[in-house]
Amino acid sequence: MNEQTDAELLQAYAHRHSEAAFALLVRRHIDFVYSAARRMVCDPHLAEDVTQGVFVALARNAIQLSERSTLIGWLHRTAKNIAAHTVRTIERRRAREQEAVTMNELPGQQTDCPWKQIAPHLDSALGELKDSDREAILMRYILNQDFQSIGRTLNLSDDTAQKRVSRALERLREILASHGFTASASGLGIIISTHAVEAAPAGLAPSVSTTATSTATAGTTSIITMTLLKKSILVSAILVLCGGAVVLTQRKIATKASGNEIGTANLSQYVGRFEMPGHKIETRKEGDGIAVIIDGNQAFIAHLQSGEKFTSHDHNSLTEMTFVRDATGRVKEFALVRDGRKLGDLKRIVE
């Protein structure tokens, strides 16, 4: 099975539900995905969450992706999107922090490690390349494939594959030059191939495989945990200098919906405990809204939108709670929807 291509393994999972094939895909690519995620969020625990999200997305989209000749470009783009969606302000804040440090450096002081200079900008720079150029770069310098292998995968001659890699590497060097990187394109290639991939934490691969496949096939509990608990409870933007400290700054998640009001006294009817296997879910009054508490941590605050629907906007995502009553008029459950995907019906615990 180790000799099978990414496409063959993904087809085995998509059409025959082979979890062994998917687990092999995870082991094959997890170091790269984790390394890219860690560069983007600069925190090992957040990087594990991003990595998990990438492979959950891969499992869910297995059929659509099973005809691709290579997955590495898609994996990188998906990791970049999830990282940006989780902590959207990280790059801007990191840039400001780096600028402040640069201003405090002594004249003529040089960075002692070129990798530390380009690492904070590498993934955003890769994101500016065309898909075909990004795939060529990643196959050459991350997967360490020769031009013959690259050409065979991308249906190119050896010479054309080499030219594409050279052109893409030069374009990447030009983008990084705007951040002060001055080495040659060949030097950049050596730096990437030497430093860009680190080993993922022990035990992460089997955990990711199990969660991704179970979430893709059933997954209400896993989806809620992934999209609300892990993501919303982060409530942070990260200020990082590579090699420096990580500072978490609290930020408010919810945005009040406009045009609808409800008396705070009437919010009491929506307050209570609700069923979710493996987790403690509670709703509380929070100002003129409803706070959802997962395992003792506030995940989000929702405000009345219409009827008995409450909504919360978080990082350009929309979470909806629609409460349902029983025959006596008492709230018995609420439907939870995230970005149009129904995550489940959480039934109220009668006390």
What's the pLDDT at 288? 82
How far is Cα 305 from Cα 296, in angstroms, rounded to an integer? 25
pLDDT score for 175: 92
Question: What pLDDT score does 221 carry?
Answer: 42
Report which DSSP code applies to 269: G
CATH architecture of 264-347: Beta Barrel (2.40)
Please state, as a whole number, how many other Cβ atoms lie within 10 Å of the Cβ of residue 96.
11
Q: Which two tokens stand for residue 236?
A: 């942070």
Q: Please, where in the chain does CATH 2.40.128.50 lie? A: 264-347
Query: pLDDT tens, 124-163?
Result: 899 999 999 999 999 999 888 899 999 999 999 989 999 9
Q: How many Cα atoms within 13 Å fall on the side-chain side of residue 51?
A: 29
**62 to 50, 56, 99, 212: CA distances (angstroms):** 18, 10, 42, 11
The model's pTM is: 0.50
What pLDDT is stored for residue 304 in this prediction? 86
Angle at 96 between CA 137 and CA 51, to 5 degrees: 45
pLDDT in tens, the chain (351 residues): 567 888 899 999 988 889 999 999 999 999 999 999 999 888 888 889 899 989 999 998 888 898 888 899 999 999 988 888 776 645 555 555 555 555 444 444 444 467 888 888 899 899 999 999 999 999 999 888 899 999 999 999 989 999 999 999 999 999 998 888 877 888 888 888 888 888 888 788 888 888 777 666 544 344 444 444 444 434 333 333 333 333 333 333 333 333 444 454 478 888 999 887 667 789 998 888 898 888 777 778 888 887 788 888 765 567 888 999 888 888 889 888 877 777 778 889 886
- DSSP assignment of 173-203, as one string? HHHHHTTT--S-HHHHHHHHHHHS--PPPTT
